[in-house]
Structure 1
Amino acid sequence: MLSRRLRQLVRLVVASLAGVVVASGVAAGHVRFVTDTEDVGEALQFLADALTDPVNAVLLGGGGVGVLVAIVVYLQIEPFQRDVEVFRDVMTGYSDLLSWLLRLGFGLPLVGAGFAGYFMNPVVDPVIAPPIARLFQIGLGFALLFGIATRVAALVGLLAYLLALPVAPLLLFSLEWIPGFLAIALIGSGRPSADQMFKRVAEAEGTFYGRIDPIHDAAGWLNEKVDPYEQYVPLIIRVGMGVAFAFLGLFEKLLAPGMALSVVEKYNLTAVVPVSPELWVLGAGLSELALGVAIALGFFTRASALTAMFVFTLTLFGIPDDPVLAHIGLFSLASALLITGAGPYALDNYIGASKPSAQVEEMLGRSGEPSD
């Protein structure tokens, strides 16, 4: 049994490392949203110069080693085991609201994009969003918000994104639309939703609407086809969000240092943490890339998702003109992972990070609270 002092030390190290990652999030927003520069810079030259700087190498190397040591030690002594177990069970209890969370997370940005005049991403040329496209987004967004023909609306949105992608390649910087639409299409409307309300009325004995309802049978057929795949929703959210996050770290920071450095200069971020601008960009890009890979692989999924949420929140406060709507989709995916956990095909399933304890299940069962 390790001493109490050692446990306290580990907690301090873990908290400090988390603080470093979160601090780097100030520069980890969507760079293209807040800079007008078109100069992406020389990526290879930037990386070579920045990584061969002794100070940068020591700080980055030391930080990486520190994170690995903290993870190994944490897995050995699990200082927050009880807290994590209870947190998992509490979050899992919100599973019935998962669809509502995702519908809000992707319906609101669609409505906002329609009224603002862009197509799904603020940096996409407005010519892609003529009046008909703006009305389309507003209508689709309200369909998701109210839960009307939810699965069909999500599939239509996914198709629209994929068709627009060759015309507007900058949509790649909003990859979260793909897992978002897919997850909503698989999980359905849930509650509260108009779909659920109409279904209940149609199924109730003696209702007039039940006799004239034109879509109840068709919706039932679609639900039967899709329902078996609902179990893969956590996997889709996890991989989709992880890839989107890693993509931003790689292509908005590490491979576009000119743009990222302009953001550091614009907001005087070196006054927040007194390191070189190059280290700011490296720290933000590598943190975003590592966090995305961890989420995609399902490694400490809930902790990684919670860290991502802190990064988004800190970005919104640290960069005041960063468009809030542009982050809601990623924020909702991270929130969904807090509820679902890693799902299938995740590293968490091999290290025990997604398994509730029998003690907690028994405790919740005695108190009458649901454990699922």
Structure 2
Amino acid sequence: MKRRSILTGVLLGVAVVATSRPAVAHVDYVTDGPGAALDALAFLIEVLSNPINAAIFGVSGLAGVVGIAAYLWVRPTIADIVILREKLAGYADLVPWMLRLAVGLPLVGAGFQGYLFAPTVTFDPSANPLVRVLFIGLGFCILFGLATRIVTAVGLLTYLWALTVDPGVVLAMEYVPAFLALLVVGGGRPSADDMLQEVASTEGTYYGRVDPVHHLKAFFDDVTDPFRPYVPTVLRVGMGVAFVYLGLFQKLADPGSGLLVVEKYDLTAVVPVDPGMWVVGAGVTEMLVGLALIAGFFTRGAAAASFVLFTTTLFGLPDDPVLAHITLFGMASAVFTMGAGPISFDHWFGRPAVSDEEPVVPAD
């Protein structure tokens, strides 16, 4: 009987990982206040001292390690993945557009709804009309791709200013790597910058005679060009740090708040395991995905997993603010498109090429 209960617990644990709806939720976004003050280490020890919980973590962890090790040892060539990777490479020029949508839309929403990047850091739009106009203006300019790099620099400075106003803005730390990536790639296409640059640089056009900044855009393009290969690295590391922060500080280090989420949405009715198992499982899952992204380890797989977690979170937590997650959605899409980039496990340990035209095939 005990063996059967442990086996049942292991299967339920797999379900927790697969359907862990609060795994990527910003706890502060969906709770009204702090949870009970609990000692994080004592809570973790108590959860894992339960034989069923220990079996869940032990078996699932061992299965994951063995599966990854076997894959890396065999290095199978799966035609579907090769074709998908080649197709994604053709979308590289659309990454700036993805990032502009991912940053511009939530900035417009923040301006209209009255918050500084993170929905928990609010301001009164009627009492602070200039701040409202600033956010809406930044958002629309980035959406249109108008003076993208200049506006992005202003956006980054605005984020740093907001961080001094309220450290709670750190919950929206994903804006920083997104801004940095946009500073490098610019507006891309389609964008107002691209259209105006084409008109202004064509001899004989009226606009080319009066536009004073198209030479500046060309200069920025030349300056940032050497850094373009590192854009995937900036995005995946930024995403990874955000995941680790959420898993470590909002779940494992603050289990009381995590338990509030489990209780509020009755998550134990979805997967009947110990509430503490939900919190620890969500925190560990989040940290593992984050560490995989930081290391560039099976990067596209980690990005796809994060995308699935975002989606299930939004559907599973009905009052979780959608706009607050759009930036992470866009970053996950960009990372899935570009892969790990340099300075990554996938880049260093990619399997041999499958053809002469394919010099390196990443491990993801």
**Fold-level similarity (TM above 0.5):** yes
Name the counterpart of 2:9.
none
In the alignment, is the contact (CA less than 8 A) between 1:189 and 1:195 conserved in 2? yes
Does residue 226 (structure 1) correspond to residue 186 (structure 2)? The answer is no
Which of 184, 200, 203 is the aligned partner of 2:201?
203
Deviations 1:21-74 (A, max 9, x none): 331244431111111122363222222221222221111121111111111122
Corresponding residue number in structure 2 for 1:50: 47
Q: Deviations over 1:164-212 (max 9, x none)?
A: 2122111111110110000011011100000001001101121111111
In structure 1, the residue matched to 2:213 is 215
Provide the rounded CA distance (Å) in 1 between the counterparts of 2:156 and 2:269: 42
Identity %: 49
CA distance in 2, matches of 1:40, 1:217: 58
1:152 aligns with 2:150: yes
| Cα distance, 1:127–1:251 mapped onto 2, change above 3 Å | farther
Describe the superposition over 1:202-249 as per-residue Cα deviations: whole angstroms up to 9, x where unpaired: 011211111111111222222222222112101100111100111111
Contact 2:114 2:124 in 1 (8 A): no
Aligned residue in 2 for 1:115: 112
> Following TM superposition, by how much is the alpha carbon of 1:361 offset from its aligned partner in structure 2, in angstroms?
5.3
Aligned position for 1:60: 57
CA contact (8 A) 2:35 2:259 kept: no
When residues 313 and 124 of structure 1 are mapped into structure 2, their CA distance, relative to the original with a 3 A threshold, is: same
Distance 2:183 2:347 in 1: 25
1:27–1:263: 8 Å Cα contact kept in structure 2? no
Q: Any conservation in 2 of the 1:107–1:145 contact (CA below 8 Å)? A: yes
1:298 equivalent in structure 2: 296
Please report the TM-score for the alignment, with normalisation by the length of structure 2. 0.90
Query: What does residue 75 of structure 1 align with?
Result: 72
Deviation of 1:275 after TM superposition, in Å, equals 0.4
Residue 33 of structure 2 is matched in structure 1 by 37
Partner SS, residue 336 of structure 1: helix
Q: In 2, are the aligned partners of 1:146 and 1:193 still within 8 Å (CA)? A: yes
Q: Which letter maps to 2:33?
A: T
CA offsets 1:68-105 (integer angstroms, 9 cap, x no match): 11111222334562221111111111011110000000
Matched, 1:317 2:315: yes
Unmatched 5+ stretches in structure 2: 1-11, 360-364
Instruction: Tell me: CA distance 1:267–1:80, structure 2 relative to 1, closer, same or farther (3 Å).
Output: farther
Query: Larger deviation: 89-98 or 210-219?
Result: 210-219
CA gap of 1:124–1:320, structure 2 versus 1, over 3 A, is same
TM-superposed CA distance for 1:312, in Å, is 0.2
Segments of 4+ in structure 1 off by > 4 A? 16-20, 359-362
Q: Secondary structure of 1:166's partner? A: helix
Q: Which residue of 1 aligns with 2:244?
A: 246
Aligned length: 346
- Per-residue CA deviation, residues 151-176 of structure 1 (Å, 9 max, x unaligned), is 11111111111122122111111110
Q: CA RMSD in A?
A: 2.1
TM-score, scaled to structure 1: 0.88
Inter-partner Cα distance in structure 2 for 1:22 and 1:329: 23
How far apart in 2 are the matches of 1:116 and 1:52? 45
The answer to whether the aligner puts 1:332 opposite 2:339 as a matched pair is: no
Structure 1 residue matching 2:25: 3-state secondary structure: coil
Whether contact under 8 Å (2:300, 2:339) holds in the other structure is yes
The answer to whether the Cα contact below 8 Å between 2:292 and 2:299 also exists between their aligned partners in 1 is: yes
Q: Match for residue 365 of structure 1?
A: none
Conserved in 2, the CA contact under 8 Å of 1:246 and 1:292?
Answer: yes
State the alpha-carbon separation in 2 of the partners of residues 121 and 107 from structure 1.
14
Aligned match of 1:3: none
Change (3 A) 1:241 1:290: same
Structure 1 contact 85–360 (Cα < 8 Å) conserved: no
For 1:171, give the aligned amino acid.
Answer: V
Q: Note closer, same or farther for the CA distance 1:360–1:338 as it changes in structure 2 (3 Å cut).
A: farther
Contact 1:86 1:360 in 2 (8 A): no
Give per-residue Cα distances to partners, 1:268-318, cap 9 Å, x unaligned.
101111101000000000000010000011000000000000000000111
